[in-house]
Amino acid sequence: MNKQRIFTALALLAVAQTASAESNPWLPEPNAINGSVSYVYQTTDRFFLGNKLTKLPEELSQHTVNFYGEYGLTDSIAFDASLGYSSSDFIGTPPDGPAPFGASLDGLTDTHLGARWRALDEFIDAPLTVTFRAGGIVRGDYQVGALNAIGDGASGGEFSALFGRYFDNGLSLSSEIGYRTFEGQVPDNFFASLKGNYALTTKASIGINYQIQESLSGIDIGAPGFTFARFPGTDEDYQILGGNLSYQLTPSTSVTVVYAGIVDGRNTSYHDLTGINLGFGF
């Protein structure tokens, strides 16, 4: 993959990292390393209790720094990893949660480790690039059981199929469809994304990203039998729509600014997020 395509792939990845560790179908060249460092800030004063949008007593905010890297082993095999640190604040943390009123929660986010195999290559003899990914999820060291918990606190695995295509007019499209499974009470979920990027110039591009997650089981917050000890087992669904603007600083580095927001959800925060991402390749 040439430097311009590396730049575009990292730009497409930038929005995905704001929500979850999603990948892209294009692999780095053998022995090449791509990576990114991103900062994301999200805030909200509303929350979906079940499917009912409810006003929170105070604002909930979260800061996250994430590191992503990928390594090309061969023409058709690559490895990827992501890890981050996050802190959240919410004065309305319930008395039976892990922290008192007015406290903040922080810790390492879940670590995602994956391997990708490219089955079809659009640059050789296929109409599009098709890649399959299998990965593991290692739970972070944060506390669970509150509205402002960093994550669900469970390890697991994820499996997905990725599709992508570059066009001569500067447009590129990619998508991912996958399944995650977790230990303990955390429900398995289906996830999917659709990303597009358009090169405005040889250095600047704009992009759009849509993501969806649907839990396959779980309890609603506030339903009969619900306690904050069961918070990781909630039926959490969301849809996110976002956009990004990227600029190539050098042939191997780029910067991307991101804005995204929840457009619909269930047992999740109704938040907006902004972020900045520095991508590199060598």
pLDDT grade for 4, boundaries at 50, 70 and 90: very low
Any idea which of 12-16, 31-35, 164-168, 228-232 has the lowest mean pLDDT? 12-16
- CA geometry: angle 215, 220, 221, nearest 5 deg: 125
Q: How many CA atoms lie within 13 A of 110 on its CB side?
A: 24
What number is the average pLDDT over the span 87-106?
Answer: 63
* pLDDT reported for residue 103: 62
Band the pLDDT of 16: cuts 50, 70, 90.
very low
On the question of pLDDT at 46 being above 80, the answer is: yes
Structure confidence by residue, pLDDT tens digits, 109-155: 999 999 999 999 999 989 999 999 999 999 999 888 777 788 889 99
According to DSSP, the β-strands at 156-166 and 52-72 are: unpaired
What value does the mean pLDDT of the chain take? Answer: 87
Q: CB neighbours (10 Å) of residue 214?
A: 15
- Is pLDDT of 275 > 90? yes
Q: Amino acid letter at 107?
A: G
Q: How sure is the predictor about 22, in pLDDT bands with cuts at 50, 70 and 90? A: low
CATH of the domain at 35: 2.40.160.40
Residue 102 pLDDT exceeds 80: no
pTM for this predicted structure: 0.88
Q: What is the pLDDT of residue 231?
A: 83
State yes or no: pLDDT of 1 exceeds 80: no
> Scanning the structure block, which residue is given the tokens 């007019």?
169
The answer to whether residues 186 and 235 touch, using CB atoms and an 8 Å cutoff, is no
List the end-to-end C-alpha distance of the chain, in Å, as a whole number: 12
Give 227's pLDDT tier (boundaries 50, 70, 90). confident
| Residue range of the domain that includes 12 | 3-281
Question: Residue 135: what pLDDT?
Answer: 96
The pLDDT-based confidence of 3 (bands split at 50, 70, 90) is very low
Residue 2's Cβ-count burial label (10 Å; 0-12, 13-18, 19+) is: exposed
Domain tally for the chain?
1
Question: Could you tell me where the DSSP H helices lie in the chain?
Answer: 3-17
3-state secondary structure 127-157: CCEEEEEEEEEECCCCCCCCCCCCCCCCCEE
* pLDDT beyond 80 at 99: no
Burial class (CB in 10 A: 0-12, 13-18, 19+), 245: middle
- Is residue 101 pLDDT above 80, yes or no? no
> In whole angstroms, what is the distance from residue 168 CA to residue 271 CA?
36
Q: Is the pLDDT at 211 greater than 90, yes or no?
A: yes
For the stretch 27-40, pLDDT in tens is 999 999 999 999 99
The whole-angstrom separation of Cα 47 and Cα 60 is 9
Give the residue from 94, 26, 89 showing the smallest Cα distance to 59.
89
